[in-house]
Structure 1
Amino acid sequence: MSSTVAPATSTEVFQSGSYKTHLQNLNPPPPCRTKTRPIPSPPPKPLLIASPTEAGEFPVLMFLHGFLLSNNFYSQLIQHVASHGFIVVAPQLYTVAGPDATEEINLAAAITNWLAGGLQQFLPELVKPDLTRLGLAGHSRGGKTAFALALKKELATTTTLRFSVLIGVDPVDGMDTGKQTHPPVLSYVPGSFDLDMPVMVIGSGLGELRRNPLFPACAPKGVNHEQFFRECREPACYFVVKDYGHLDMLDDETRGVRGKVSYCLCKNGESREPMRRFVAGAMVGFMRAYMEGDSDDLKAIRAGDTGPIELTTAEFL
């Protein structure tokens, strides 16, 4: 059912967690060997990895960036998630991309396969990844890519690991209804996604609004979060955040030309921090529920405990 939800006292997931985190950019040279030791096998693409620093075995989340954005623009978001006891791997799939997403879907698959033999080499000492609890998430076009990978669309090779959960953060499947980028993910048939995992979709209330007549909406109606959720099967949950935009989960400061453009393309809220804290907290609550068996935080959000923001929609299947 749908409901309008007012802000309430936040659960701890909307604040930084108890784990100290380590953030590293991983862009190593090609693999080679020396006489003394092998050089670790590098990933197929550069990675931004956020992890706890304390000893333990932690679930893993792969997070895919939005269209023409840098993975570094999500550093605060993924560190927030990592501080609650998760390892987050955010690849840089491309710097320039055309309308066809096939290559990035296959790159995401290749990185997934690399995790099993490669990730451990680059984590802090005594931090171990639990790849039996592996989540997949993506923002904007990265959300489309995440759904496409989970649905095995246009895959040149199969993935060797199984995903436990799927999260779409304001996912977008193209410019408009009938103008989907290849391969199309949406079929416009309710409940058509044949997924064997729980799904969460988070939408931005301002994403389908134009900032000005010169630019299209960043998350146009008909190819955005609403339609993605309509095609999900149970178990699934859906949150739409009032008064925040398509890029409001990025870092407070995003540098460079791409970073500056991120402030002016989409209709935005007053600041990024509240949206980012909600997105990170909702991701933590969802993963705890379906990867760790602790549904208290997700139940609290469902009951109206939405932390720093107000929701227009909270719907569960």
Structure 2
Amino acid sequence: MKFLTFIASLVCVLGYEVLSIYVDWGNPYDMGRLPVNDLTITETIDKSPLHTTAHYPNQSGEYPVVFFIGGMNGYVLSEMYTDVLRMVAAHGFIVFGVDYKYPALTDGENIFKPILKQDLKPYFNEIDFSTVFIEPVSFDAFENVPNPVPALMYGTELSEKGLTKCCLPGTDFRQFYKIWKCPRLALEVADFGHCDILNREFWGVCTHICTKSNETRIDEYHKFIQGAMSSFVISTLQMRQDAITYLSDTTKIPVKLLEHQTDLNCTLEKKSDQLF
């Protein structure tokens, strides 16, 4: 089983001129300070076009919006990632986990077809402000992205280990970094694996397929990955410029790295040209 997971982040209502937007001024690798509420929106109950989980601060304010799409082109449901998504929301974001394939396998589609051949252009065209690719896998990511937004590409050591590699060299975060343009960052962390971002109750199932890591470090990993994701969206959506240093400065990253690439010295055409 291979997962394609990415967060497509954009400000839907709030513009860059909004001065009252919430900004988290703490260390992103620490837990966010805001209490979080959860809501599940279903097609049958709420007439929503997509099954969606929402995590949002339980405190009045104006918050940027983050959209999350689960692995395998959406077959891995957002409920499996709620522990990490709630942590991101606590930094001052409204996080929507959108399940494009809910309920899974009811349309008769071959579950492996979207992995073997994906048309990524519709995804890229929908991203307006910034995006985070968490261990992406695609056999179709070979064309340069024409108008890229700030992007973080991320991988783990164990995802490419063992007999059943859940990320394949040449189709993984390195390839996404290659086809992207400035501004972009790429990280690979040691000792952790493809399943470790999942809630603990789903982690065990995933590790029957992907290389298993140390179960006693799952909480540590969740705290790290939420911090990496939050660092990026705090810098690009809350407009806190120094937050990007928690990814660009390796001395601030609290886990062992195997790879670290940055390409941030560029000018964007949008108002976000001073992000970094």
In which range does the TM-score fall when normalised by the shorter chain? 0.7 to 0.9
Within the alignment, does 1:60 sit opposite 2:72 as a pair?
no
SS at match of 1:89: strand
Match of 1:92 in 2: 99
Give the whole-Å Cα distance in 1 for the aligned partners of 2:183 and 2:253. 23
Runs (4+) of structure 1 moved beyond 6 Å? none
2:122 to 146, 149, 156: 149
Measure how far apart 1:243 and its partner are. 1.0
Is the contact made by 1:286 and 1:295 (CA closer than 8 Å) also made in structure 2?
no
CA contact (8 A) 1:47 1:90 kept: yes
Aligned pairs for 1:162-177 (under 5 A) are 163-173=128-138
The 8 Å contact of residues 28 and 42 in structure 1, kept in 2 or not, is answered as yes
> Residues 87 and 304 (structure 1 numbering): CA distance in 2 closer, same or farther, change over 3 Å?
same
- How far apart are the structure 2 equivalents of 1:288 and 1:100? 35
Aligned to 1:294: 240
TM-score, structure 1 as length reference:
0.65
Maintained 8 Å contact 1:249/1:273: no
Aligned length: 226
Identify the match of residue 250 of structure 1 among 177, 187, 198. 198
Q: Is the aligned partner of 1:262 residue 2:206? A: yes
Give the Cα separation in 2 of the matches to 1:287 and 1:99: 31
Between the aligned partners of 1:58 and 1:288, the Cα distance in structure 2 is: 11
1:265 CA drift (Å):
1.0
What is the CA distance between 1:74 and its match in structure 2?
Answer: 0.4
After TM superposition, list the pairs within 5 Å mapping 1:54-133 onto structure 2: 54-67=59-72, 68-94=75-101, 95-96=104-105, 97-101=110-114
Residue 229 of structure 1 corresponds to 177
The amino acid of 1:13's aligned partner reads P
AA aligned to 2:178 is R
CA distance in 2, matches of 1:207, 1:20: 33
1:135-181 CA-partner distances (Å, limit 9, x unpaired): xxxxxx6xx78x543434xxxxxx6xx621011000000xxxxxx2x
Residues 1:47 and 1:76: Cα distance change in structure 2 (over 3 Å): same
SS in structure 1 of the partner of residue 200 of structure 2 = coil
Deviation, structure 1 residue 306: 4.6
- Identity across matched positions, percent: 20
Cα 1:274–1:306 change in 2 (3 A) is: farther
- Report the residue type matching 2:135 in the other structure: D
Q: Deviations over 1:238-270 (max 9, x none)?
A: 11111111111111222xxxx642122111321
Deviations 1:75-121 (A, max 9, x none): 011000000000110012222352343xxxxxxxxxxxxxxxxxxxx
How far apart are the structure 2 equivalents of 1:100 and 1:224? 17
The range that moved more, 304-313 or 164-173, is 304-313
Counterpart secondary structure, 2:221: helix
* Cα distance change on mapping 1:205 and 1:239 into 2, 3 Å: same
Q: For 1:194 and 1:44, how far apart are their aligned partners in 2? A: 29
Match for 1:92: what amino acid?
D
2:65 maps to amino acid: V
The code of the aligned residue for 2:112 comes to P
CA distance, structure 1, for counterparts of residue 247 and residue 219 of structure 2:
18
Larger Rg: 1
Q: Partner of 1:15: helix, strand, or coil? A: coil
Task: Report the counterpart of residue 23 of structure 2 in structure 1.
Answer: none
Q: Which amino acid aligns with 1:194?
A: P
Cα RMSD for the two superposed structures = 2.2
Q: Is the 8 A contact 2:43 2:50 kept in 1?
A: no
Amino acid in structure 2 at the alignment position of 1:201: M
The one-letter code matched in structure 1 to 2:174 is E
Q: CA deviation at 1:15?
A: 2.3
Q: Which residue of 2 aligns with 1:125?
A: none
Q: Is the 8 A contact 1:241 1:312 kept in 2?
A: yes
1:194 aligned residue: 146
Unaligned runs of 5+ in 2: 1-25, 264-276
Report the CA distance between 1:305 and its aligned residue.
4.0
Whole-Å separation in 2 of the counterparts to 1:221 and 1:260: 24
Instruction: Return the alpha-carbon distance in structure 2 between the equivalents of residues 89 and 300 of structure 1.
Output: 24
Tell me what 1:17 maps to.
32
The letter for the 2-side match of 1:282 is A
Specify the code of the residue in structure 1 equivalent to 2:40.
N
State the shift of 1:28 in Å. Answer: 4.5
